[in-house]
Amino acid sequence: MTLPPLPDKCKHIPNFPGYAADPDGHILSAVKSKGKSWNVLKGSPSSSSGYLHVVLTTATHHCQCDVHVLIKETFDGPTPEGQQCRHHDGN
């Protein structure tokens, strides 16, 4: 799938073709539009943690991912073994 140009400050999410993140915490998808445009996904709160999550789809599976983890890993790289990602902004 050919993707449209990324909006300013956005980066492609590693291992999830057709998905991108922006530094403000939005997850974008070009999957539903078949590569014609980027659409902001609406996150849903997790029943156990309360953090927002989105479902990302690849050719082989679906992944329920926490939004804050996707943002961290997209802009800062993978979380080191034995550590976890969390945020302190009160949300």
Q: Give pLDDT tens digits for 62-81.
A: 999 999 999 999 999 998 89
The answer to whether 18 touches 12, Cβ cutoff 8 Å, is no
To the nearest whole percent, how much of the chain has pLDDT over 70? 93
Dist. CA 15–CA 11, nearest whole Å: 12
Q: Which residue has the tokens 């690849």?
A: 58
pTM score, two decimals? 0.86
Q: What is the pLDDT of residue 50?
A: 84
Cβ contact 56:73 at 8 Å: no
Contact by Cβ (8 Å): 36, 4: yes
Q: Kindly indicate the confidence band of residue 6, based on its pLDDT and cuts at 50, 70 and 90.
A: very high
Q: pLDDT tens-digit profile of 17-27?
A: 999 999 999 99
- 3-class SS shares of the chain: helix, strand, coil, % to 5: 10, 25, 65
